[in-house]
Structure 1
Amino acid sequence: MLDWLKKWYANKFSDPQVVTLFLLLLIVFLSIYWLSGILAPVLVAIAFAYLLEWPVVKLQRLGLSRAISTISVVATFVGVACLILMWIIPLVWYQGRNLLRDFPQMLAQSKAYLLELPASFPDMVSTEQINVLMHSVDEHLMAFGQNMLSLSLASIVDLVALLIYLVLVPLMVFFMLKDKATLTASFLQLLPSERKLISQVWHEMNLQIMNYIRGKMLELLIVGAASYAVFAFFGLNYPLLLGVLVGVSVLIPYVGAAVVTLPVAIVALFQWGLTPEFGYLMLAYGIVQALDGNILVPLLFSEAVDLNPVFIIIAVLFFGGLFGFWGIFFAIPLASLVKATIKAWSTRVHIVEDMSSIK
């Protein structure tokens, strides 16, 4: 067994470029894992820089300089984002406050419905089971309230950090776009001169990450707007709040759509009960989700996603556990990176083995 491991290691890691690639990936992963809190604004800036690179390149092709293109794109993006947030945040805040106001009534309705279950289904549910369930729910609600209180006490520090990010992130995005060539050249100087394998993986992943981030932002806007339109058309309570939740849920592949369906169904159930209106709304919402999964996602991510859904879910769980939100957001690119690395590694090893056999 030991001899087999030595032989496998010698065959797979005899090429210095393979070793360099794995050491570079290991350093990057460990840096993000240990310094994710410090690097958070940098990661945000990188994501936005990838998002805005495409319009900057388009303006350059029209004859504008890199600096003018960057200024125009960043200024337009920041202005539009501020206008949208100034419109959405107050409405979402108002609807969220209404939801918290109506929550005790919704909880009372739930308890009344649960207390009727033993009489309706005596062979399946007992009064003791319902009492235990309601006691458990009350305990979880108390714990949630305490967590929200502690969160509100720390909100001043979080607000200061948010204000710092609102200044730092646009500046970093601007200089990342404007000085892209200089920053790339400086990074390449840190790498060894023989980096064909690293370049192969990087060129493949660079295009995939750019397409993925741009596609995710478009998907978020389209699905969120379509969901809001459906909720508003049917007269569902808190339509913008739920539409924003549905839009944000696309950042978590597969899992997000399943999780966000629960609050939509609960709000509709408490508003209408088991009526035709409830069924029509859930049918329309299901159509939005089906169109997203079967038409919009293949259209936006045809070049960025070539992975089995099982691997994507595993990547969400694994990288989300390691890196939190950013691991979830970049789960598909990271899984694609692993796939591209294994593919490049296997190809490189076979080439080296063939050259050795020829000699």
Structure 2
Amino acid sequence: MLDWLKKWYANKFSDPQVVTLFLLLLIGFMAIYWLSGILAPVLVAIAFAYLLEWPVVRLTRLGLSRSVSTIAVVAGFLGLATLTLMWIIPIVWYQGRNLLRDLPQMIEQGRSYLLELPQSFPGMVSVEQINILIHSVDERLMVFGRDMLQLSLASIVDLVALLIYLVLVPMMVFFMLKDKAQLTASFVQLLPSERKLIGQVWHEMNAQIMNYIRGKILEIFIVGAVSYAVFAIFGLNYPLLLGVLVGLSVLIPYIGAAVVTLPVALVAFFQWGPTAEFGYLMLAYGIIQALDGNLLVPILFSEAVDLNPVFIIIAVLFFGGLFGFWGIFFAIPLASLVKATINAWSERAHPHSNTAI
């Protein structure tokens, strides 16, 4: 066994470039893990810089300088984002407040439905089971209310951090776009001279990350807008609030869609009950989710999601547990990074073979 491990280690890690690549990845992961709170504005700025790089490049190809292109793109993006948020946030806040106001009535309505189950299904559901279920739900609601109170108190501190983000992030995005060549050259100087393997992985990941971020933002807007339109057409309560939730749910592949289905179904059920309207709405919602997963995602992400769904879910759970929100957001690129690293590593150890996840 020991001889096999020595042989495996000598075969896989005899190349200095392989060792350098793994050390670089290890340092990067550890830095993000331990310094994620400090580096959060930088990560946000990097994500937006990737998003805005495409229009900046297009303007430079039209003959504008890099500085002028960056100013135009950043100013246009900030203006559009500000107008969008000024329209969405007040309506979402109003609908969220109405939902909290109507929540006690919805809870009582839910209790009435549950208490009718023993009469409708006497051989399957007992009164004791319903009482235990109601008691469990009441306890969870109490815990939820306590957590929401703590969250509202903590939001005062988060408001200060948000104000800092609103100043620092646009500045960093601007300089990341404007001085991209200089920043990249400075980073490359820190790398060893023998960096062919690192360059191979980087060039593959750079295009995938840009494709992924641009596609994810477009997916959020498309899915959210279509969901809002469908909810409004059906006359569902809180349509914009639920549409925003459905749009944001695409940040978590597969899991997000499953989780956000619950509030949509509950609001529709408490509004219409077990009627045809409820069935038609859930059918329309199911069609949206099916089109998103089977049509929109392949079009937007192309090679960026060339991963088995099992690996994507594992990546969401693993990187989300390590890095929180940003681990979830970048779960697919990080999984692709692992895949690209293993492929490059295997090709270097066995030049005539090709290993893929």
Please state how far the C-alpha of 1:82 moved relative to its aligned partner. Answer: 0.4
Contact 1:228–1:243 under 8 Å retained in 2? yes
Match of 1:182 in 2: 182
The secondary structure found in structure 2 opposite 1:192 is coil
**What is the correspondence of 1:18-167 to structure 2 with a 5 Å cutoff?**
18-167=18-167
Q: What is the letter of the counterpart of residue 267 of structure 1?
A: V
| Distance across 2 between alignment mates of 1:94 and 1:246 | 18
Please state how far the C-alpha of 1:123 moved relative to its aligned partner. Answer: 1.8
Q: What is the letter of the counterpart of residue 159 of structure 2?
A: L
Please state how far the C-alpha of 1:352 moved relative to its aligned partner. Answer: 11
The secondary structure found in structure 2 opposite 1:123 is coil
**What is the correspondence of 1:244-283 to structure 2 with a 5 Å cutoff?**
244-283=244-283
Match of 1:291 in 2: 291
The secondary structure found in structure 1 opposite 2:350 is helix
Question: Structure 1: where are the runs of 5+ without partners?
Answer: 354-359
Residues 275-284 or 115-124, more deviating:
115-124
Contact 1:312–1:331 under 8 Å retained in 2? yes
| Distance across 1 between alignment mates of 2:2 and 2:203 | 37
The alignment's C-alpha RMSD in Å is 1.2
Residues 227-236 or 275-284, more deviating:
275-284
| Distance across 2 between alignment mates of 1:162 and 1:335 | 29
Please state how far the C-alpha of 1:351 moved relative to its aligned partner. Answer: 3.9
Q: What is the letter of the counterpart of residue 198 of structure 1?
A: I
| Distance across 2 between alignment mates of 1:77 and 1:37 | 26
Contact 1:15–1:352 under 8 Å retained in 2? no
Please state how far the C-alpha of 1:98 moved relative to its aligned partner. Answer: 0.4
The secondary structure found in structure 2 opposite 1:45 is helix
| Distance across 2 between alignment mates of 1:306 and 1:189 | 32
After TM superposition, the runs of 4+ consecutive aligned structure 1 residues lying more than 2 A away are none
Please state how far the C-alpha of 1:57 moved relative to its aligned partner. Answer: 0.1
| Distance across 2 between alignment mates of 1:69 and 1:258 | 41
| Matched-pair identity in % | 84
The secondary structure found in structure 2 opposite 1:99 is helix
CA shift digits 1:299-354 (9 cap, x unpaired)? 1111211111111111111111111111111111011000000000011112499x
Please state how far the C-alpha of 1:176 moved relative to its aligned partner. Answer: 0.5
| Distance across 2 between alignment mates of 1:308 and 1:332 | 11
| Distance across 1 between alignment mates of 2:262 and 2:144 | 18
The secondary structure found in structure 2 opposite 1:301 is helix
Contact 1:201–1:340 under 8 Å retained in 2? yes
TM-score normalised over the length of structure 1: 0.97
Contact 1:118–1:126 under 8 Å retained in 2? yes
| Distance across 1 between alignment mates of 2:136 and 2:201 | 50
Residues 32-41 or 200-209, more deviating:
32-41
Match of 1:226 in 2: 226
